[in-house]
Structure 1
Amino acid sequence: MSRISPVILSDLTSDMQNILSAVEIKMGFMPNDALLMAHKPDVMLAFGNLVQAVYDEQSEISPVLKRLIGLVTSHAAGCRYCQAHTAHAALNHDIDDAKLEALWEYETSPLYSDAERAALRLAQAAGMSPAYVSEDIFTELNSHFSNSQIVEIVATISLFGFLNKWNSVFETEIESLPKAVLDKYFPH
């Protein structure tokens, strides 16, 4: 159970109800963190704009890699809620089961490219508190990605920095669909 109660949908304006309904359709379930955030609609709307910008359809970084970046960042930060969501989202973006299962061996697994390793190395280092991002990590990153792509990667990491804190502080309850994915691929 979360540390605060989620909003009651019928108490929200019709605009907010419509937004949450769209979120539910896109994700396949109603995310509990959105129901907590909806206590402050302006915060939820601003956050929604950030999510849309990070997951822009015109992205130069694949949706699967962005979900894996979020997953590794969230693991480094210790946020099980976000690990569950990003693993679920990666599966919804057609990641191969074997690749998801090999995530923690990304440094040596042949399922991961050198570019993916560089991005995930950054995600792991940046997800720690304090962040430890060495020059070596950035040198490797620069050999695989443009400045624009690096900004996308860091924006994804930063988005999950917010979400990791939000959900850890509130101890947001993990919904059944993402929890099943988390339990299957990354049992505690």
Structure 2
Amino acid sequence: MPRIQPVADELLDRNHADLLATIRGAYGSEPSSFALLAHVPGLLEAVGDLSEAVMGPGRIDAGLKWMVAHVASLSAGCQYCSAHTGYHAAHAAGVREEKVAALWDFATDPLFSRAERAALNLALGAAHSPNATTDADFDELRASFTDGQIAEQVAVVALFGLFNRWNDTLKPELEDAPLRFAEQTGAYAGRNEGRSR
């Protein structure tokens, strides 16, 4: 149960119709956390615009973006976001479920390329508090990515830093599809500690 009351569905639909239509078109439904973001005037639209800029088409492919988001959310310990990012990696970006389930073991699992390992290591370190990235991490990234691609990866981690803090603090109800995916694959934070539902 969320720690604050969500904005009523009819009010959310009336005040945020365009954004909700875009999200529903892309992902089938909107996250329940939207009804919590809507409490702060202008925040839902700002987060929507930021999400579109960061997660939309760019210099790195959608699958890598969602895997970066997933590892960042696992590192932050956010059950809600790690369930969502794993689900979207597989269902919106086409990453194989086996690979999503193995993301926590990216450093040693043969499913991951050198470039993916470098990106996921960045996500792991950058999502850690305090930040645990090193100059050596960036040397490894430069073997596979341009500065623009690296900046895009950091933007994904930063976006999910906001989502991880928001969602892990306010505890929105986890929707059925990402919950089922997380339970089937084990691809969520705190999988041995229960879930936030």
* TM-score w.r.t. length of structure 2: 0.89
Residues 54 and 156 of structure 1 are in contact (CA less than 8 Å); yes or no, is this contact kept in structure 2?
yes
Residues 75 and 83 of structure 1 are in contact (CA less than 8 Å); yes or no, is this contact kept in structure 2?
yes
Residues 121 and 137 of structure 1 are in contact (CA less than 8 Å); yes or no, is this contact kept in structure 2?
yes
- Superposed, 1:82-101 pairs within 5 Å as 82-92=81-91, 93-101=93-101
Provide the residue aligned with 2:110 in structure 1. Answer: 110
Residues 54 and 156 of structure 2 are in contact (CA less than 8 Å); yes or no, is this contact kept in structure 1?
yes
Provide the residue aligned with 1:74 in structure 2. Answer: 73
Residue correspondences, number: 187
Mark the CA change 1:94 to 1:34 in structure 2 (over 3 Å): closer, same or farther: same
Provide the residue aligned with 1:147 in structure 2. Answer: 147
Residues 2 and 173 of structure 1 are in contact (CA less than 8 Å); yes or no, is this contact kept in structure 2?
yes
Q: How far apart in 1 are the matches of 2:14 and 2:100?
A: 38
Residues 20 and 30 of structure 2 are in contact (CA less than 8 Å); yes or no, is this contact kept in structure 1?
yes
1:11 CA drift (Å): 2.4
Q: What amino acid does structure 2 have at the position aligned with 1:169?
A: T
- Superposed, 1:41-60 pairs within 5 Å as 41-57=41-57, 59-60=58-59
Provide the residue aligned with 1:122 in structure 2. Answer: 122
1:28 CA drift (Å): 1.9
* % identical aligned pairs: 37
Q: How far apart in 1 are the matches of 2:135 and 2:12?
A: 47
Mark the CA change 1:27 to 1:41 in structure 2 (over 3 Å): closer, same or farther: farther
Structure 1 range deviating more: 170-179 or 12-21: 12-21
1:15 CA drift (Å): 4.8
1:165 CA drift (Å): 0.4
Residues 66 and 88 of structure 2 are in contact (CA less than 8 Å); yes or no, is this contact kept in structure 1?
yes
Residues 24 and 31 of structure 1 are in contact (CA less than 8 Å); yes or no, is this contact kept in structure 2?
no
RMSD after superposition: 1.5
Residues 73 and 124 of structure 1 are in contact (CA less than 8 Å); yes or no, is this contact kept in structure 2?
yes
Q: How far apart in 1 are the matches of 2:15 and 2:4?
A: 23
Residues 65-117 of structure 1, C-alpha deviations (whole Å, 9 max, x = no match): 11110110011101010001101101112111221222122112221110000
- Superposed, 1:8-19 pairs within 5 Å as 8-12=8-12, 14-19=14-19
User: What secondary structure sits across from 2:65 in the alignment?
Assistant: helix
Q: How far apart in 1 are the matches of 2:75 and 2:170?
A: 18
Q: What amino acid does structure 2 have at the position aligned with 1:82?
A: C
Provide the residue aligned with 1:64 in structure 2. Answer: 63
Unaligned regions of 5+ residues in structure 2, if any?
193-197
* TM-score w.r.t. length of structure 1: 0.93
Residues 152-188 of structure 1, C-alpha deviations (whole Å, 9 max, x = no match): 0000000000000000110122111101111111243
Q: How far apart in 1 are the matches of 2:24 and 2:40?
A: 18
- Runs ≥4 in structure 1, deviation > 6 angstroms? none
